[in-house]
Amino acid sequence: MITGGKDISCPDSSRTTLRPLPAPAPALAAPSLSATRVRARPWPHLLVRHVVFALGVCAVVLGLGVAFTAPLRASKGRIINIGSIQSLMHVRTPSSAAYTASKHGVLGFTRALAAELGKDGVRVNAIGPGFIETPFNAKMRAENPERVKIFVEHTPLGRPGTPDDIVGPAIFLASDLSAFVTGSIILADGGYRTV
């Protein structure tokens, strides 16, 4: 979640931490949320993990109350959550029921926060990436080229995304260009949901 000067991240454990970020790049003066990591485990474990993740983020934002939201409200800050195309649809892959449920939760959380914080000028949105090549999924891509092929063939732009493909939507949502956008999700999926 991109928040006013803090990185809320959930590393391999379910613990949530707040830590100051290094100086941001001039083009985007906002921090970021590292995504939870999904491993091949039985789906009930993943569902619990993702629900715990969503509740953990919620508890941090709402539980800290004034201490956390006061600076956001004072600065009319922006929160950018990272959802997925699975915030809006289900993609049948191993353990994907839990992932879909968690990403639906991220979108619901985004919309709820937008409704709660909008009166104070805080905008809350999400980015919904499609299939993005990252170091985290490199092993899956190497071991399952057929799955990658299925995603790429279904994507009108004919390629997987890269982390750089998420930068533009993040800059837009963090900037005043999106001054009247809140409670929304911007899909960066190469057109995957259009087919």
Q: Can you give the pTM of this predicted structure?
A: 0.70
CA–centroid distance for 101 within its chain: 13
pLDDT: which is higher, 1 or 117: 117
Phi, psi of 151 (to 5 degrees): -65, -45
* Average pLDDT value over all residues in the chain: 75
Given 53, 68, 99, 109, which residue is catalytic? 99
Asked whether the predicted pLDDT for residue 185 surpasses 70, the reply is: yes
The pLDDT tens digits of the residues spanning 8-58 come to: 443 333 333 334 334 443 333 343 333 333 344 444 444 455 555 555 455
The pLDDT tens digits of the residues spanning 57-94 come to: 555 455 445 556 778 888 898 989 999 998 899 888 77
Type of residue at 149: K
Active site residue 192: no
The pLDDT tens digits of the residues spanning 93-122 come to: 776 788 888 888 889 989 998 999 999 999
Domain spans in the chain, listed from the N-terminal domain onward: 6-194
Predicted pLDDT of residue 61: 53
d(C-alpha 36, C-alpha 143), whole Å: 21
The CA radius of gyration of the chain, in Å to the nearest whole number, is 17
Q: What CATH number has the domain spanning 6-194?
A: 3.40.50.720
pLDDT: which is higher, 161 or 19: 161
Instruction: Give Cβ neighbours of residue 80 (< 8 Å, ≥ 6 apart).
Output: 1, 2, 30, 32, 124, 125, 126, 127, 170, 173, 174
Q: What is the mean pLDDT of residues 150-167?
A: 95
